Amino acid sequence: MCLRFVARCVSGSPEAEEWQSSCGGGFGRNSAIPSLLLSWETWRDNFMQDAVEEHAWLTWEQLTPEPAQVNLDPLDLKRFYALAIPKSYIYCRQDRAMPPGYFHPGMSSRLGACKVVEMDGSHEVMFTRPAELADKIIEATSD
């Protein structure tokens, strides 16, 4: 068994609070359920800047507001840190979703000892470089 991460915030962290204020999108219209809906410009320039514009637009049109609270609720990570399994982190070098250093080494260092696998690509490599990402997942899980 191996735990794999593609650059993502750990909920409840100070970084998650920063994420809420710096994403560049807008919060959803329903104030009872705070949610984030990224603007087209933020999506294109910071999440899928390595995609053909038409591809980025088609994916942006499919976005729905993301509940913000999941990024703010604290998590008890004691069991996570006690896991005796290999951990890997896939770092996308052109990820602009957050400021430089936020995901790596910022988030990746929270894993403790882990294998860091780097690749080119934006935050949304699942859309822009799926074959390369698949290769990197295999690399991240092999010894």
Average pLDDT of the residues in 104-117: 93
Residue type at position 17? E
Q: Is 62 strand, coil or helix?
A: coil
pLDDT-based confidence at 137, cuts 50/70/90? very high
Question: Considering the entire predicted model, what is its pTM?
Answer: 0.76
Residues 140 and 77: their CA atoms lie apart, in Å, by 22
Q: Which residue has the higher pLDDT, 2 or 31?
A: 31
- Take residue 88 and report the two structure tokens written for it: 């890997």
Summarised one tens digit per residue, pLDDT across range 6-27 is 444 444 455 555 544 555 444 4
pLDDT of 21 reads 53
* Domains present along the chain, CATH in parentheses: 3-141 (3.40.50.1820)
